[in-house]
Amino acid sequence: MADATMTARPGAPSRNWLLTLLELRTYVALIVVFTVFAIMAPNFLSVDNAVLISKHVAINAFLAIGMTFVIITGGIDLSVGSTVGLTGMVAGYLVLYGIDLGLGWSIQFNTLEIVLITCAVGVFVGWINGILITKLHVAPFIATLGTLYVARGAALLMSGGRTFPNLNGSGTYGSASFPAIGAGTFLGVPMMIWILVAVTAVAIYISRRTPLGRAIYATGGNERGAALSGVNVDRTKLFVYMFSGLMAAIVGIVIASQLRAAHPATGEFFELNAIAAAVLGGTSMAGGRGRIWGTIIGAFVIGILSDGLIMMGVSSFWQMVIKGLVIIAAVVIDQWQRKLSARIALTQEAH
Amino acid sequence: MSADHPIGLQVRNAVKVYPGTRALKGVDFDIRMGAVNVLVGENGAGKSTLMKVIAGVEDLTEGRILVGGEEKQFRSKDDAVTAGVGIVFQELNLFPEMTVAENVFMGREPTRFGVDVKDNEVLERTRALMARLEQKIAPETTLGHLRIGQQQIVEIAKALAQDTNILILDEPTSALSAQEVNVLFRIIEDLKAQGVGIVYISHRLEELIRIGDYITVLRDGEITGARSMEGVDIPWIVRAMIGDKSKDFASEITHDYGPTMFEARDVSLARAGGGWTVDHVSMSVRAGEVLGVYGLMGAGRSEFLECVMGQHPTARGTIEVDGRPLDGCTVGQRIQRGIAIVPEDRKRDGLVQVMAIRENLTLSSLPRLARWFDLSPAIEASKASEFIKRLTIKVASAENPVSSLSGGNQQKVVIGKALMTEPKVLLMDEPSRGIDIGAKAEIYRTIRKLAAEGLAIVFVTSDIEEVLALSDRILVMADGRVTREFPHGAPASDVVTAANPAKAGAIPVSKKDNAEWPMQP
C-alpha cells in the first residue's frame, strides 16, 4: 500500500467536443439543409419563400409540440390529424350556419366564440383519449387509433363528405375576421407565426419551470416511481392528450381560415409528420426525454427539407425516401449520444 | 451417512472477486448425491454467487470445481449442463402463453433438419417427465393456466429434461402455499431416492431442518458452518449466519420518543383466490421510534407498506398519520399529510433513471417548492444541494443522471427525496438491499440520526441482522399476520423462529398421500 500513488484528477472535466456535436445535431442538420438549399435551389432565400416555408412549418410545429408532451409521457397520439379535420369542419360549420335551433331560429357566433368552441372540441377529443388511456387502460396506440377513425368519420358526417366553401364570415355576426387568423399578418409576420411563438413559449415554460412539466417527464421516465413519489400520473396524462387535442384544433382553425374552406379530409397523415419532428428533435419514443425547442428545430428541418426538395424539382417519391432516411439517422445518432454521455457521467462519478 | 451419499461435485477454495467486493473468500462446498444439501445465509452472503459459479453463469476468480473427482472448467452454462447441473431460479423463467411441453424444451427442441420441431417427441418426453415427477399435468396445457406451484414443477421438469443429476433450487417455496410446499417436498424425496443431488436454498429455517440432509452456512463470503443436519436447530443456524455479536446501531444513539405518529388498524389485503396477503395488521409508532418489521419473502411486509401508500384500492383498515386518517387519499395527498416511502426496488419504484440527481431529489416536493405553478430553478437547485450535503451523497454534479451513481448513493437520493417532503413518518422497504457493507453502515447511521431528529420510522426487511441492528422494537410477520413483537435486544433465534410460518410443518410429508394437487380455488 505504501507505494501506491494516487494520480490527481483534473479539477473540472473538460467538455467532450464529440458529445457537444452530437447534442447539437438537430441544429447541425438545420444548418446543413438550409445551406444546401440556399446554394442549390433558386429563390430559396427570398422573403416570400421564407414566409411560405414558415407557414408550412408552423402547421406541423403546433401538432409536434402537442405530440412531444404526449411522447415524453410514454404515449402516442395518432388522432391529431383527424382532429385537425374534425375541428376544421366544426369551425366551418359555425361560420356558415351557426347552431340551428329549428323553427327558423339559430345562434350565430363571432370569431372569438367560434375559436373557443372549436378549441373545446379539440380538447374534448383529447379528453376522450386521456380517459380511454388512464381509466379504461387502453394502450395509447390503440386508443388514439380508434379516435383517429371516429374523428375522421365525424368530420365526414358533418357535411356528408362535402367541403364547406366560402368561409368569409359575416360582418353582421362579428365573424368577418375569421379569414384573418390564417391569412392575416401583424408587423409583416403572419398571424399564425405569432400564435406559434406564443404557444411555443408557453410549452417551453410548462416543460422547464412547472411541477406539471416535471410530472410529464417523470411519468414517461418511470411511471411506477413517479406515482410512488406523489405525481398524479393519470391527471398528467389527461393533460397531455387534451393539450395535443388543443393543438390540433388550432391547426384545424388555421387551415380552414387560410383556405376559407373546410374539407373533411384535411389533416390526413399530419400525425406522422408531427411524430417525425418530435423524434428528429431528440424526443425518445420510450418516454422521459425530449425538448420542445428540439421539436421546433425538428419541424423546421422537415419543413425546409420538403419545400427545398420541391423547389429543386426532386420528385415527391424521392422526397419520402430522403425524409425517412433523415429520421432514421437522427435516431441512430441519438443512441450514440446517449451512450457517450452515460459513459462520461460514469467516469465523472467514479472516484 | 456420508457413505450412502457420495460426493458428486466439489468446490474447492473458491474465490470470486467483483469490482470493489470479494463475494467468495475461499469457499469449500460439497454436493452429496441422493441427498438434500442445504445452503443458507443472509442476503449478500454469497449464496447466489456460489450457485452462479456452479451453474456456469459466472467464472471463478480462483479455485477449482471437481465433478466426480475430476477437475472441470465451467466456462458457460452449457458446460454446467453437460456436467449434469440444472438450476431453478427463484424467479420463474417461463412463457405463460405457451404450453407446458413447449416450455420444458424451450430453446432446445428436438428437430428434423434443425427446422421442423418434432412435436410428438416433445409431448412424449414431457409426459414421461411429468410421470417421473408423479404430476397430473398434461403437456398440452397452456402454462399460464397452472397454479404457481405447478409452474415451479414445470421449471424442475425443464431442468431434469437435460439429464440433470444435480438440481439447484433457489428459494423454491417463497411463493407456494402449504399444500404446494408438501407436493414439492415429496418430489424432492423422490428425486433423492433416484440419486439426484439437490442443493436447496431458502430463508425458511424450519423448512431447511425438515428437508435437509446436510447444511452449509455462508456469511460474508465465508463458510461459517458445514455439517450433517442431525442435531441442527434454529439457534445453531442463526449463530452461524450472523455470528455471536452483531453491530447494534440502535444503542449508539438513544433518545426519548414523542407522541404516536403512525397508527395502522386492521390493515387487510385479500389474496386473489382466497385468504389474506395482509391479514388484519395493526401497529403504531411514536415520533423518534424505529420499528423494524421482520418477515420472510411472502410474509406480506412489502404489501403492507403498499397498502399504507394507497397502492391497493381494495385494501381495508384505517391508517392515521399524526392523528389524521389517510382514507381515500392519493399518494400525493398522503405525502402532504406527512408520510413518505423509500421503496424496495430502487430502479423500478424509487428513481426515474433518465432524470438528473436534482430532479429525482425534488420529485416528491414539487408542489411545496413551486410558487403557485412556477418552479424556480434557483430554489430547486439550492434545495437539492442542501440535501446532497445533509445526506453526504457523493456526486460530481447534481445535474448528472441518477443512474451514474453507486447503489448506496442512489439509495441516499431516494431517502433524500422522501425527506425533502418533511415527513412525520418514513416507511422504508429493505433499506439496504443491494448496497455494499460500508455504505450499509452509513445508511443505518443516517436512519438512527433521522429518528433522533424526531422522525417515526417503519422499515421492513428480510435481513435478520438488519432488523436486530436497527430497531427500537421489532414486529415479526408471517403469512400476512403479525406473529410476535420483541423489544430491542431480543435474541436472534427467537425472532427467526417467529418468522417461520407453521404451515409447512403442519402436514407431514408422506410418499403417496397428498399426491393430488389442491382444488383450484
Mean local confidence (pLDDT), A292-303 = 94
Structure confidence at residue A5 (pLDDT): 36
Best-predicted range by mean pLDDT (B76-85, B228-237, B276-285): B276-285
Residues of B in contact with A229 (CB under 8 A): 331, 335, 363-364, 417
Mean local confidence (pLDDT), B492-512 = 63
- Number of residues that this document lists for chain A: 351
Residues of A in contact with B369 (CB under 8 A): 211
Give the residue ranges of DSSP H helices in B31-113.
47-54, 77-82, 100-104
Residues of B in contact with A212 (CB under 8 A): 373
Residues B280 and B178 in one domain: no
Instruction: Give the least confident one: A189-198, B159-168, B239-248.
Output: B239-248
> Could you tell me which residue, B349 or B3, shows the higher pLDDT?
B349
Residues B175 and B288 in one domain: no
**Residue B363: is its pLDDT beyond 50?**
yes
User: How many Cβ atoms sit within 10 Å of the Cβ of residue B301?
Assistant: 29
Give the residue ranges of DSSP H helices in chain A.
17-23, 25-40, 47-72, 80-97, 111-134, 140-159, 180-183, 191-209, 211-221, 223-228, 233-259, 270-280, 292-311, 316-349
Instruction: Give the least confident one: B33-42, B73-82, B237-246, B281-290.
Output: B237-246
Q: Is A332 helix (H, G, I), strand (E, B) or coil?
A: helix
Last residue of a domain, one of B245, B275, B304: B245
- Sheet containing strand B324-325, edge to edge, reads B276-286, B260-270, B316-321, B324-325
Grid cell, residue A294, equals: 428540439
Domain assignment of residue B515, yes or no: no
Residues B82 and B217 in one domain: yes
Domain assignment of residue B98, yes or no: yes
Neighbouring residues of A233: CB distance < 8 A, sequence distance ≥ 6: A134, A215, A219, A223, A226, A227
Q: A256 pLDDT band (50/70/90 cuts)?
A: very high
d(CA B414, CA B455): 16
Contact (CB<8Å) A225/B352: yes
In sequence order, what are the beta bridge partners of A47? Answer: none
Bin B243: left if φ > 0, else alpha if -120 < ψ < 50, else beta: left
**Residue B86: is its pLDDT beyond 70?**
yes
Structure confidence at residue A226 (pLDDT): 95
**Residue A193: is its pLDDT beyond 80?**
yes
Domain assignment of residue B346, yes or no: no
Q: B112 pLDDT band (50/70/90 cuts)?
A: confident
Mark out chain A residues that contact chain B at CB-CB < 8 A. Answer: 13, 208-215, 217-218, 221-222, 224-232, 284, 288-289, 342, 345-346, 348-349, 351
d(CA A15, CA B193): 66
**Residue B35: is its pLDDT beyond 90?**
yes
- Sheet containing strand B62-67, edge to edge, reads B21-32, B7-18, B62-67, B70-72
Residues of B in contact with A215 (CB under 8 A): 366
Last residue of a domain, one of B245, B274, B293: B245
Structure confidence at residue B107 (pLDDT): 82
CB B361 within 8 A of CB B410: no
> For the segment A226-250, what is each residue's pLDDT rounded down to a tens digit?
999 999 999 999 999 999 999 999 9
Model pTM?
0.84
Torsion of CA B17, B21, B24, B25, to 10 degrees: 100
Q: B247 pLDDT band (50/70/90 cuts)?
A: low
Closest CA to A232 of A246, A244, A218: A218
Mean local confidence (pLDDT), A216-229 = 94
**Residue B504: is its pLDDT beyond 70?**
no
> Could you tell me which residue, B520 or B465, shows the higher pLDDT?
B465
- B373 CB near a chain A CB, below 8 Å? yes
**Residue B16: is its pLDDT beyond 80?**
yes
Q: B327 pLDDT band (50/70/90 cuts)?
A: confident
Mean local confidence (pLDDT), A5-34 = 69
> Could you tell me which residue, B47 or A221, shows the higher pLDDT?
A221
Grid cell, residue A300, equals: 423546421
Q: DSSP letters along B293-331, please?
A: EEE-TTSSHHHHHHHHTT--TT-EEEEEETTEE-TT--H
Structure confidence at residue B75 (pLDDT): 84
**Residue B251: is its pLDDT beyond 80?**
no
Neighbouring residues of B191: CB distance < 8 A, sequence distance ≥ 6: B167, B198
Domain assignment of residue B28, yes or no: yes
Residues of A in contact with B421 (CB under 8 A): 230
Q: What is the ipTM of this complex?
A: 0.84
Contact (CB<8Å) B375/A229: no
Domain assignment of residue B305, yes or no: yes
Residues B195 and B287 in one domain: no
Structure confidence at residue A175 (pLDDT): 85
Percent share of chain B, pLDDT over 90: 38
The parent domain of residue B465 ranges over 257-338+424-496
Structure confidence at residue B205 (pLDDT): 84
Smallest Cβ–Cβ distance between B353 and the set A221, A349, A351 belongs to: A221
Average pLDDT, whole number, for chain A?
A: 89
Q: B95 pLDDT band (50/70/90 cuts)?
A: very high
**Residue A218: is its pLDDT beyond 90?**
yes
**Residue B517: is its pLDDT beyond 80?**
no
CATH of the domain at B163: 3.40.50.300
**Residue A264: is its pLDDT beyond 80?**
yes
Instruction: Give the least confident one: A167-181, B343-357, B380-394.
Output: A167-181
CA angle B51, B54, B59 (to 5 degrees): 100
Neighbouring residues of A111: CB distance < 8 A, sequence distance ≥ 6: A169, A174, A175, A176, A177, A178, A181
Q: A7 pLDDT band (50/70/90 cuts)?
A: very low
- Chains A–B, number of C-beta pairs less than 8 Å apart: 104
Contact (CB<8Å) B406/A227: no
Structure confidence at residue B20 (pLDDT): 65
Q: Which of residues 392-431 of B touch A (CB under 8 A)?
A: 394-397, 400-401, 403-406, 417, 421
Residues B172 and B236 in one domain: yes
Structure confidence at residue B250 (pLDDT): 67
Structure confidence at residue A8 (pLDDT): 38
Domain assignment of residue B213, yes or no: yes
- B260 CB near a chain A CB, below 8 Å? no
Domain assignment of residue B377, yes or no: yes
Give the residue ranges of DSSP H helices in B83-194.
100-104, 119-132, 148-160, 178-193
N-term to C-term CA, chain A: 18
Q: DSSP letters along A235-274, please?
A: HHHHHHHHHHHHHHHHHHHHHHHHHTSB-TTTTTTHHHHH
Residues B447 and B487 in one domain: yes
Residues B183 and B222 in one domain: yes
Smallest Cβ–Cβ distance between A210 and the set B341, B362, B375 belongs to: B375
Domain assignment of residue B343, yes or no: no
Residues B156 and B205 in one domain: yes
User: How many Cβ atoms sit within 10 Å of the Cβ of residue B265?
Assistant: 13
Structure confidence at residue A296 (pLDDT): 96
**Residue B2: is its pLDDT beyond 70?**
no
**Residue B392: is its pLDDT beyond 60?**
yes
Average pLDDT, whole number, for chain B?
A: 86
Contact (CB<8Å) A215/B417: no
> For the segment B17-29, what is each residue's pLDDT rounded down to a tens digit?
876 677 888 999 9
Closest CA to A188 of A288, A67, A50, A19: A50
In sequence order, what are the beta bridge partners of B269? Answer: B278
d(CA B199, CA B168): 5
> Å from B61 to nearest chain A CA?
22
CB B485 within 8 A of CB B474: yes
Domains: count for chain B: 3
Pairing of strands B214-219, B222-228: antiparallel
Phi, psi at residue B473, to the nearest 5°?
Answer: -150, 145
Residues B65 and B120 in one domain: yes
Structure confidence at residue A2 (pLDDT): 39
Domains and CATH numbers, chain A: 46-341 (1.10.3470)
Percent share of chain A, pLDDT over 90: 58
Helix crossing, B178-193 with B148-160: angle to 10°? 20
Residues B403 and B428 in one domain: no
Structure confidence at residue B235 (pLDDT): 84
Bin A154: left if φ > 0, else alpha if -120 < ψ < 50, else beta: alpha
Neighbouring residues of A220: CB distance < 8 A, sequence distance ≥ 6: A71, A72, A73, A74, A75, A286, A287, A288, A289
Smallest Cβ–Cβ distance between B401 and the set A209, A232, A345 belongs to: A345
Residues B263 and B379 in one domain: no
Percent share of chain A, pLDDT over 70: 95
**Residue A286: is its pLDDT beyond 80?**
yes
Grid cell, residue A126, equals: 383529447
Structure confidence at residue A350 (pLDDT): 57
Structure confidence at residue A200 (pLDDT): 97
Last residue of a domain, one of B218, B245, B272: B245
Structure confidence at residue B252 (pLDDT): 67
Mean local confidence (pLDDT), A122-128 = 97
> For the segment B113-148, what is each residue's pLDDT rounded down to a tens digit?
878 888 889 999 999 988 888 788 899 999 988 888
Closest CA to B196 of B4, B1, B30, B32: B32
Closest CA to B367 of B395, B344, B336, B396: B336
Residues B13 and B145 in one domain: yes
Best-predicted range by mean pLDDT (A126-130, B95-99, B467-471): A126-130
